[in-house]
A and B are shown apart, each in its own frame.
Chain A
Amino acid sequence: MNTATAIEMCNVAAGSSKDANIVVAEQVNWKILPGEYWVIGAPQHSGKSDFLMMIGGLTAPREGDYIFLGVQMPVFDETLLAHRLKLGFVFDGGQLLSGLSVAENIALPLRYHRELSPDELDARVTELLELTDLMAMANLAPGRIGRAWQQRAGLARALALQPEVLLLDSPLTGLDARHANWWLGFLDQLSRGHRWLDGRPMTIIITADDFRPWQGHARQFACLSEKRLTVLGDWSGVEKSRDAAVRELLNVEAAP
């Protein structure tokens, strides 16, 4: 296996996190290089969230080899925790801890994994709140802010530990144009190299049920349909594809 790759999968099968007997993807052979910006398109309820959770190391592959930055996944060994934290995960809807405020949610990974002084912790959390325009909501409980803002707080929390690879589960679902544009712009910055990451380009993998908003933003595309992951390449590959699932994700009629 090539350690220069960010992610490498060989004949991987992923199962559902809710029912271990259900397979959502199989025979996945896929390679992701550092700094790439992928969108995995899939129809709703096709298991794309489960597939992303497997990439995030939250579930084990049912079969095959999955190598993340040179280490076999999933990593449950505590001695490899630092390696595991190179992956950031943004859940659909943020999935913030309801008992903590927005700022406390963002501070949680820093509090748990880094021995920071209160001043350092405050400074980092404030910077993340400013990056995501959440300053005004810092002390509110997640239940008191809208879903779009909860999703942003989930992003800020995932970025707190400055991961190398960021996984996002359907980040644009249910967002209005203003929020969607903010996400697209911010992810572009992360992909190019954001100051929060000291200018280092971030590897990004996103699941989506519509390819169209990602045109001109994501650089690589793949489609998960009927348990198979098909790599489409860049946007021209998406447009040229005759696959019915891909056409559906572009909201156009499949070719006869």
Chain B
Amino acid sequence: MTDTQLLRRLPHTRSFTQVLGRGLLVFLLTVQGVSAFALITLGVMLTKFRVARQAIAPLVRQQIARAGVQLLPMFAFISIVLGLLVIGQSVALQNRIGAVEFLGNIMAVVIVRELGPLLAALLVLARVGTAIVVELGTARAMGEIESLEALGIDPVHYLVVPRVIGMALGIFSLTVYLIIGSLVSGYVWAFIQGVPLLPGDYFNQLAGALNYMDFILLALKTCGFGFIIAIVTCYHGLAQPIRVEEVSRATVRAVAQGTIACILLDALFIVIYLAI
């Protein structure tokens, strides 16, 4: 049993300071555990980059399909709705102040820099991240990890690395599709609402509002989201001894921590945007 699990199983206390102290200890131990797991995974990714490609490459493709291709229909729907939400609110406001020429700028800031990447990450966390915790937690509880070790197969290399790569590329690709879909649907909704804006002007506004750093930071941010989600979910499913009945609780914890970690990374990127 790990220290974190031990702390969670301690009897309940009514003392506020004890509750606070215990919570803080659990938080610090979790940060330590997840960080160590992330470093181990990075180490394995680098040292075993060319090892067993025949076995790992199909797993990476499978994870890209799972965290990317298979989610495309849902993201197509979300992109249409997102365009409507942002444009609907913006048009109502801008009509009052007569500033429709900023429609493209608003879409660039809201969709490209903020909402698109974060929404894509949280949707993938909900759809794929939860499944990862359940399948790895169950595999661990059923002794499948020992099977891999007995076969001389590093479980981090076989189970975690493909998920990290798949999740990072999946979220990056889905964000790009989500942004494109939202920008296009945004214009369609604006057109339906009678906004006097030509397509060329709208896309000129978008192009004017974006620069090359936006694309670089978008790629880094989305890959970062994918890395964090894969690490947090794999950590909760794999890195700790777990019983089958504990898998659901581990899933809830992973989703909560994954969400917080993504929002913190997003906040870091806001600081970077403001600094450059």
Nearest CB in chain B to that of A111: its residue? B55
Q: Which of B52, B55, B147, B148 has the largest count of A CB atoms less than 10 A from its CB?
A: B147
Task: Give Cα A157–Cα B152 distance, bound, in whole angstroms.
Answer: 12
Interface contact B146-A18, CB-CB below 8 Å: no
Tell me the smallest distance from the CB of A218 to a CB of chain B, in Å.
22
Q: Given A108-B55, A111-B52, A111-B54, verify A98-B149 contact (CB < 8 Å).
A: no
Nearest CB in chain A to that of B56: its residue? A112
Nearest CB in chain A to that of B146: its residue? A58
The reply to whether the CB of B135 lies closer than 8 angstroms to some CB of chain A is: yes
What's the count of A-B pairs with C-beta under 8 Å? 57
Tell me the smallest distance from the CB of A23 to a CB of chain B, in Å.
17
Binds B, one of A37-45, A88-96, A223-231: A88-96
Nearest CB in chain A to that of B138: its residue? A98
Task: Give Cα A91–Cα B146 distance, bound, in whole angstroms.
Answer: 9
In the complex, what residues of A have CB within 8 A of residue B143's CB? 91, 95
Not counting A85-B152, A95-B142, A111-B52, a sample of 18 additional A-B residue pairs whose C-beta atoms are within 8 angstroms of each other reads A19-B1, A56-B150, A84-B152, A89-B150, A91-B146, A95-B144, A95-B146, A96-B144, A97-B147, A98-B138, A99-B135, A99-B139, A111-B55, A112-B152, A113-B52, A113-B152, A157-B151, A161-B151
Task: Give Cα A153–Cα B260 distance, bound, in whole angstroms.
Answer: 43
- Binary per-residue interface labels of chain A (65-81) against chain B in the complex, 1 for a CB within 8 Å, 0 otherwise: 00000000000001001
Number of interface residues of B (CB under 8 A): 21
The reply to whether the CB of B158 lies closer than 8 angstroms to some CB of chain A is: yes
Provide 23 A-B residue pairs closer than 8 Å at the C-beta atoms, listed in order of the A residue: A19-B1, A84-B152, A85-B152, A91-B143, A91-B146, A95-B144, A95-B146, A95-B147, A96-B144, A98-B138, A98-B144, A99-B135, A108-B55, A109-B151, A109-B153, A111-B55, A112-B52, A112-B54, A112-B158, A113-B52, A116-B54, A158-B150, A161-B151
